[in-house]
Chain A
Amino acid sequence: ETGVTQSPTHLIKTRGQQVTLRCSSQSGHNTVSWYQQALGQGPQFIFQYYREEENGRGNFPPRFSGLQFPNYSSELNVNALELDDSALYLCASSPRIPGANVLTFGAGSRLTVL
């Protein structure tokens, strides 16, 4: 089975720009979540998508938004980029069954905002 794949792996943007990051979930997984990992920190929960709708969100402003598609792939969009948005963005997928809080992570997209 294929794991979680993310693209692009690295990208550089400037303040005020917008960015879209993409994620393909693991085969058989229908729930996708996104995490932000700043340098030297643990991942921070941004939001989760199930059945193409956001059904859980962490402490992130509305300029962080997402989409989930019928094939369970997902996008993370960040508008009006700020310097502090520089981080590794991790996508994770999981099956939607009881006790399945076990996430499979992708390798991440490293965003640098200048």
Chain B
Amino acid sequence: GQQLNQSPQSMFIQEGEDVSMNCTSSSIFNTWLWYKQDPGEGPVLLIALYKAGELTSNGRLTAQFGITRKDSFLNISASIPSDVGIYFCAGHGGGADGLTFGKGTHLIIQP
């Protein structure tokens, strides 16, 4: 099945650093979502974006809905150990479509 192009695949960073990841699609989406998944858990919603160009923050997290509606990025500022996990972007085209997910960005923080 289709998956979004998410990059980078993995990131090794120092605690306190800023993080940036992005997601692109060949299709237009009406909604972009960012989820985080910890081992043994289901994905947990971080940020939802509903309009092209929208920039939304949730604490240290900031995400934007690209103006072409085919891309989105997520930034995490001043990373902390609990930020470790796998981050997924997801797009929704509308109606009864399911979410289309990226393959994930694995964030690893070195002390």
Q: What's the nearest-Cβ distance from chain B to residue A14, in Å?
A: 24
Q: What's the nearest-Cβ distance from chain A to residue B38, in Å?
A: 10
A45 and B1: CB pair below 8 A? yes
Closest B residue, CB atoms, query A34: B98
B100 and A45: CB pair below 8 A? yes
A41 and B103: CB pair below 8 A? yes
A101 and B41: CB pair below 8 A? no
Interface 0/1 of A44-57, CB less than 8 Å to B: 11111010000110
- In whole angstroms, what is the CA distance A97 to B3 when docked? 26
Q: How many residues of B contact A (CB 8 A)?
A: 29
Q: What's the nearest-Cβ distance from chain B to residue A34, in Å?
A: 9
- In whole angstroms, what is the CA distance A103 to B44 when docked? 9
Interface 0/1 of A26-55, CB less than 8 Å to B: 000000010100001111111110100001
A101 and B92: CB pair below 8 A? yes
| Interface check A102, CB cutoff 8 A | yes
Given contacts A4-B42, A106-B42, A107-B41, contact A45 B31 (CB under 8 A): no
Contact pick for B99, options A40, A45, A106, CB 8 Å: A45
A42 and B98: CB pair below 8 A? no
Closest B residue, CB atoms, query A31: B96
- In whole angstroms, what is the CA distance A103 to B92 when docked? 11
Mark B residues whose CB is within 8 Å of A. Answer: 1, 3-4, 6, 30-31, 33, 35, 40-45, 48, 50, 88, 90, 92, 95-104
Extra contacts besides A43-B88, A104-B45, A107-B40 (7): CB < 8 Å? A35-B98, A42-B3, A42-B6, A48-B96, A58-B98, A101-B31, A107-B42
